[in-house]
Amino acid sequence: MTQPDDAETRWRALVQSETRGRFADTARTPAGLEVKALYTAQDLEGVAHLDSVPGEAPFVRGVRATMYATRPWTLRQYAGFSTPEETNAFFRRALKAGQRGLSVAFDLPTHRGYDSDDPRVKGDVGKAGVAVSSVEDMKLVFDGIPLAEVSVSMTMNGAVLPVLAAFIVTAEEQGVGLEQLSGTIQNDILKEFMVRNTFIYPPEPSMRIVADVMELVSQKLPRYNSISISGYHMQEAGASAELELGYTLADGLAYASAGVARGLDPDAVLGTLSFFFGVGLDFFGEIAKLRAARLLWAELVKERFAPKNPRSLSLRTHCQTSGVSLTAQDPLNNVVRTTLEALSAVLGGTQSLHTNAYDEALALPGERSARVARNTQLILQHETGIPKVVDPLAGSYYVERLTHDLAASARQLVLEVEAHGGMTRAIEQRIPQRRIAQAAAERQARIDRSEELVIGVNAFRVPDEPEPELLVVDTARVLEAQSARLARVRKNRDENRVQALLAALEAGARGSENLLTLSIEAMRARATVGEVSLALERAFGRHNEVSMATTGVFSKAYAGDAEWSAVVELLRRVSEREGRQPRILIAKLGQDGHDRGAKVVAAGLSDLGFDVELGPLFQSPEQAARHALESDVHFVGVSTQAGAHLVLVPELLDELRKLGAGGVRVVVGGIISAPDRAALEARGVSAVFGPGAPILEIARQLLELFEGVPEAGSA
Amino acid sequence: MSARHPLVAGVRAGDRRALSRAITLVESRRGDDSEQAAALLAELYPATGRALRVGVTGAPGVGKSTLLDALGMQAVAAGGRVGVLSIDPSSQLRGGSLLGDRVRMARLSSSDAAFIRASPSGGASGGLGPRTREALVLLEAAGFDPIFVESVGVGQGELAVTEVCDLVMVVQIGGAGDEVQGMKRGLLEHADLVVFNKADGPQAAATERAARELASLLEWMRPGQSRVELVSALEGRGIDGLYRALLEERARLTESGELRERRRAQRRSWLSQALEELVIARQSRDPELDRARRELERAVEEGELAPPLAARQLLEPDKASSTSGGA
């Protein structure tokens, strides 16, 4: 037991004399955690997991007894762009350069279930990932790569059926048995509805597809993970560590229940689940988050499913360093950020890791930046000695307390979700979406106000930085190559057979047959991703949804701020002259569903006094122009994260002109390289904003576009 | 009558751009714009008054916009040109707003036979915007019929739709508990149709039960005057029946003469509102009155003078002097 003059009391006395009482003994970390300035042995009271060892439930110290001491984590870089051939070449080079597993990024049309030659998706083909429309494309992606040896993870959710089917057929045609395939399909549709928005069908049939995949994988692909339950995208969308943890595990429980409800054995279901967390710059918070995830998952699974195999309680996870922590400004700083995040992931005990490239806030990674990203992990593995000791931070007063507290608060979120009838219901009621959007807006407001410093962005800026060299995808060439191959595929196949299999798939979707089995047959006969998706869409419908931004966060954060008041005053003068509030349509064009930026900007501008129209996701330039016209907006603000702006924004300008609304100003915000910025401005875009541009700056620039507004004081 | 306004021809021809600019003009708070708005109205108003106007109200999250998308497409399929005015709340503090209804009207917003305009409530009470009536006239002049007016939908007191529409449709969901029923009771008394949405998925049974209960309650409250419809906007079920019910209700109201009565009352209340606005506008335009008002304001703020007496002193100084002695 502690003595009267215990460590904390003695320390407080010292603090008093050192600072004369001017000291706040608690603080808030970047991931939103409340922490104390000092932790002592006293903080370990009530922490129950301290005696556990690695490899043993609740696995808080690691899922394997020896962890990295015998085998380091899997270096698995997420990659893919342009044509299947180019992605294949990239993969082969990466494997030669020390990468252990592959992780495929698909382009947005593939995610949304459209073939490359679909007119709706021009501009997005090959941009944010590789274009895969048929088995022939998939075979090229893995040409010369032995699927029996290399584990392959695929980020695919909406179009999971045709894409996983194409992968399975590719393995068959390579002569690889299904039991030999290892890797993971993301197949996490709940977080798509929550934050990432690359869904295709409504929630209910989508959950059925998830369960169909789980069922077939657990029966036929024993070494393969049928879901990667992802918190990463929640963190990217602005969730705090606690929200990411709680909602991810709640998603996990929903999937496990769906599998068990199918009549599958709980051990078989739990064995095919894996997780995927984001790791940001909250160094200790992220370590504690991964440890807490294992601890809480073991407890929850034990309570709810009582599996027989103790390994079923273990949470295995992939991690990726944070994309939103990267800055477009002074991009080499991102190497440092990524290194720290990678270290967190390793100290937290991840099973595999992706490290971001330093130029990803500007464009897709180039050859050189991809190498540095890979080497970051190789240096951690081979030059630091860190992997030699299992769970080196165990016993740290701070880390153990944080682990305990995070698990406890995440458990509350899990219980709240369950009280609302489970995750699908909670998402329908927009509970997680609202929480995450609010956290995102609050964080942005803190950064805008320099309460949190981001080096090179709101502090220590470099006046004239040189432009880094960037990878540019020639969309027109990708589209041409893809269209030609699709034409060949359609010409050389047995058309009657394909149509019969697609009809069988549609009938299966209306009935209860396993849809992955039916999709494999259709894809084997060379149906395309678009055709399989359409057959399912006929039965299920296509889902359209958007979660609204929250209001009030910015005006609260800026209460009493002089700069804020100055912009509000400028706005007042503008609206007096215009006879109405300045009005802006915030549009997401094309297949890019990343809407954190759009929602944060919408919230901020409406708090300042703009009338903000939030457009639907996946709007075409034509639809956006008509929306702008009917709403008679002053501005259209296009938010772009996936590189299609050079095609879609000029089309928007043309459409506006065609409708006689050429007076509407178009501004663009998001991930935009310097050459793209110049090209957009040359086409008539009025302003371009980088990722994370402060709201006040955006608002001021917009308001200054109004001409002839009287000066202050002439009210 | 003033010279022909340049937007008149465009609006009459159903030109989207002209209609959109015209709505901005009538909504404008600028004094010179209001002159133009009056000129526009003078020319367009006489030919209107025949389109079907349907008010749509209900609590947030009941699926009003999704329902309008489905119902609007039904009307388009039946040969209608559909206008939608949807009102969202403005912030009291800064006047800004977040307008997101169109997001849930994906099909209608791409239809050539539809026009959707979202407007901020701009501080008006009752669930509509200050110029919803004028916008309705413009939409009708541009050939849109039927026209749906979607109110803010934040709960109590959203009776303004009853003052501008032929029919009022209250959207509900089942299983939302008694509080919704209680809260909306005032509105239910004015509902021509109560639509239970989301009769799908796991809530289907609860929704059906709620619809039955409400139907018998309404039958007791207002025998034969309101109908209850069950739909799933998401799955598109019950939408054709709902559209038919709207037309039947209108026919019934027309035959009974009630529609004519409603429109007469609505025009009277529009006149009252216009008079109030004009009096206030005139007062603030008159420098002498404005100065007098500022002086009186101080006494009012301090609680020395009752506000109604101050108003009388300002506008009817002769009468007021005889009554203001005891302030």
ipTM score of the complex?
Answer: 0.89
pLDDT at B75: 96
Q: What is the CATH number of the domain that holds B239?
A: 3.40.50.300
Most confident option among A295-309, A698-712, B39-53, B312-326: A295-309
Q: Does A355 touch chain B (CB under 8 A)?
A: no
- Which chain B positions have a beta carbon within 8 Å of A615's beta carbon? 102-103
Tokens of A165: 């089917």
Q: How far apart are CA B234 and CA B104, in angstroms?
A: 11
Sort A679 into a burial class: Cβ within 10 Å, 0-12 / 13-18 / 19+. middle
Q: How far apart are CA A580 and CA B116, in angstroms?
A: 19
pLDDT at A713: 47
Q: Please check whether residue B136 is in contact with residue B27, taking contact to mean a CB–CB distance below 8 angstroms.
A: no
Summarised one tens digit per residue, pLDDT across range A648-664 is 999 999 999 999 998 99
Q: Does A15 touch chain B (CB under 8 A)?
A: no
Nearest to A616 among B27, B94, B103 (CB): B103
b or e along A56-91 (b: 16 or more beta carbons within 10 Å of the residue's beta carbon)?
Answer: bbbbbbbbbeebbeeebbbbbbbbbbbbbebbbebb
Q: Are residues B200 and B297 in the same domain?
A: no
Residue A495 CB neighbour total at 10 angstroms: 12
**pLDDT band at A397; cut points 50, 70, 90:** very high
**A551 vs B110: CB contact, 8 Å cut-off?**
no
Q: Residue B314 belongs to what domain range?
A: 265-320
- pLDDT > 80? residue A469: no
SS3 for A1-47, per residue?
A: CCCCCCHHHHHHHHHHHHHCCCCCCEEECCCCCEEECCCCHHHHCCC
b or e along B287-324 (b: 16 or more beta carbons within 10 Å of the residue's beta carbon)?
Answer: eeeeebbeebeebeeeeebeeebbbbbbeeeeebeeee
Residue B20 lies in a domain: no
Q: What is the CATH number of the domain that holds B307?
A: 1.10.287
pLDDT at A715: 38
Q: Are residues B58 and B136 in the same domain?
A: yes
Residue B294 lies in a domain: yes
Residue type (1 letter), A170: T
Share of chain A above pLDDT 70, in %: 97
Q: Are residues B96 and B193 in the same domain?
A: yes
Q: Please check whether residue A198 is in contact with residue A593, taking contact to mean a CB–CB distance below 8 angstroms.
A: yes
Average pLDDT, chain A: 91
Placement of tokens 């893995």 in the chain:
A142
pLDDT at A320: 97
Q: Please check whether residue A333 is in contact with residue A272, taking contact to mean a CB–CB distance below 8 angstroms.
A: no
Torsion A90-A96-A98-A103 (CA) sign: positive
Q: Are residues B202 and B285 in the same domain?
A: no
Q: Are residues B251 and B269 in the same domain?
A: no
Helices (H), B111-238: 132-141, 160-164, 178-183, 185-188, 204-221
**A209/A424: higher pLDDT:** A209
Residue type (1 letter), B133: R
Q: Are residues B190 and B75 in the same domain?
A: yes
Residue of B nearest to A203 (CA): B201
Placement of tokens 């109604």 in the chain:
B308
Calculate mean pLDDT across residues A296-319: 96
- Which chain A positions have a beta carbon within 8 Å of B116's beta carbon? 630
Torsion B167-B168-B171-B177 (CA) sign: negative
Residue of A nearest to B92 (CA): A609
Q: How many domains does chain B have?
A: 2
Residue B18 lies in a domain: no
Q: Please check whether residue A103 is in contact with residue A76, taking contact to mean a CB–CB distance below 8 angstroms.
A: yes
Residue of B nearest to A610 (CA): B96
Summarised one tens digit per residue, pLDDT across range A26-74 is 888 887 888 999 999 999 999 999 999 999 999 999 999 999 999 999 9
The number of C-beta contacts closer than 8 angstroms across A and B is: 109
Does A466 sit behind a cis peptide bond, omega within 30 degrees of 0 on the bond before it?
Answer: no
Q: Are residues B210 and B270 in the same domain?
A: no
**pLDDT band at A287; cut points 50, 70, 90:** very high
- Report the range of poorest mean pLDDT among A131-140, A313-322, A636-645, B154-163: B154-163
Residue B12 lies in a domain: no
Residue B2 lies in a domain: no
B86/chain A closest Cα distance in angstroms: 11
What lies within 8 Å, CB to CB, of A497 at 6+ separation is: A525
**Which of B207, B224, B255 is at the close of a domain?**
B255
Nearest to A613 among B91, B99, B235 (CB): B99
Tokens of A709: 């507004």
pLDDT at B162: 84
pLDDT at B180: 44
pLDDT at B268: 94
**Hey, of B16, B81, B99, which one would you mutate to test binding to chain A, going by the most A CBs within 10 A of its CB?**
B99
What lies within 8 Å, CB to CB, of A243 at 6+ separation is: A234, A413, A432, A435, A436, A439
Residue B307 lies in a domain: yes
Residue of B nearest to A205 (CA): B201
3 state DSSP class of A601: helix
- pLDDT > 50? residue A635: yes
- β-partners of residue A285 are none
Q: How far apart are CA B313 and CA B292, in angstroms?
A: 9
Q: Are residues B217 and B292 in the same domain?
A: no
Helices (H), A41-142: 84-96, 108-111, 135-141
Residue of A nearest to B103 (CA): A616
SS3 for A538-583, per residue?
A: HHHCCCCCCCCCCCCHHHHHCCCCHHHHHHHHHHHHHHHHHCCCCE
Share of chain A above pLDDT 90, in %: 70
Q: Are residues B296 and B315 in the same domain?
A: yes
pLDDT at B124: 78
**A614 vs B98: CB contact, 8 Å cut-off?**
yes
Residue B38 lies in a domain: no
Using alpha carbons, select from A118, A143, A144 the residue that is nearest to residue A131: A118
- Which chain B positions have a beta carbon within 8 Å of A611's beta carbon? 90, 96-97, 99, 120
Calculate mean pLDDT across residues A419-444: 87
Tokens of B288: 């002498």
**Which of B255, B286, B302 is at the close of a domain?**
B255
Using alpha carbons, select from A689, A691, A696 the residue that is nearest to residue A445: A696
**Which of B255, B283, B307 is at the close of a domain?**
B255
Count of helices and strands (H, E) across chain A: 27, 16
Q: Please check whether residue A438 is in contact with residue A91, taking contact to mean a CB–CB distance below 8 angstroms.
A: no
- pLDDT > 80? residue A441: yes
Angle at B73 (CA atoms; ends B71, B74), nearest 5 degrees: 65
Q: Please check whether residue A321 is in contact with residue A342, taking contact to mean a CB–CB distance below 8 angstroms.
A: yes
pLDDT at A528: 97
Using alpha carbons, select from A673, A609, A614, A678 the residue that is nearest to residue A641: A673
Q: Are residues B105 and B171 in the same domain?
A: yes
Tokens of A380: 């951690």
Q: Does A565 touch chain B (CB under 8 A)?
A: no
CA dihedral B178, B184, B190, B191 (to 10 degrees): -60
Residue A392 CB neighbour total at 10 angstroms: 13
Side-chain half-sphere CA neighbours of A331 within 13 A: 25
- Which chain A positions have a beta carbon within 8 Å of B115's beta carbon? 630
pLDDT at B277: 87
**B222/A495: higher pLDDT:** A495
Q: Give chain B's length.
A: 327
pLDDT at A545: 64
Using alpha carbons, select from A295, A606, A241, A586 the residue that is nearest to residue A436: A241
Does A432 sit behind a cis peptide bond, omega within 30 degrees of 0 on the bond before it?
Answer: no
Summarised one tens digit per residue, pLDDT across range A195-226 is 888 899 988 899 999 999 999 999 999 999 99
Residue B8 CB neighbour total at 10 angstroms: 17
pLDDT at A615: 87
Q: Are residues B141 and B227 in the same domain?
A: yes
**A578 vs B30: CB contact, 8 Å cut-off?**
yes
Q: How far apart are CA A210 and CA A157, in angstroms?
A: 9
Q: Are residues B248 and B296 in the same domain?
A: no
Q: How far apart are CA A579 and CA A297, in angstroms?
A: 56
- Which chain A positions have a beta carbon within 8 Å of B7's beta carbon? none
Torsion A304-A306-A307-A313 (CA) sign: positive
What residues of A act catalytically? 78, 232-233, 588, 592, 594
A185/chain B closest Cα distance in angstroms: 28
Q: What are phi and psi of B21, to 5 degrees?
A: -65, -40
Summarised one tens digit per residue, pLDDT across range A245-255 is 999 999 999 99
**pLDDT band at A524; cut points 50, 70, 90:** very high
Q: In a structure prediction context, what are the per-residue pLDDT tens digits for chain B, which is 327 residues long?
A: 445 788 999 999 999 999 999 999 999 998 889 889 999 999 999 988 889 999 998 877 788 888 999 999 999 999 999 999 999 888 877 788 888 888 888 889 999 999 999 999 887 777 888 899 999 999 999 999 999 999 887 655 677 888 899 999 988 876 555 434 444 566 777 788 888 887 776 677 777 887 888 788 777 777 777 788 888 887 788 999 999 999 999 999 999 999 999 999 999 999 998 999 888 888 888 888 888 888 888 889 988 889 999 988 888 888 765 554 443
Residue B273 lies in a domain: yes
3 state DSSP class of A527: coil
Tokens of B134: 């004028």
pLDDT at B130: 87
Summarised one tens digit per residue, pLDDT across range A450-463 is 888 899 888 888 88
Tokens of B136: 């309705």
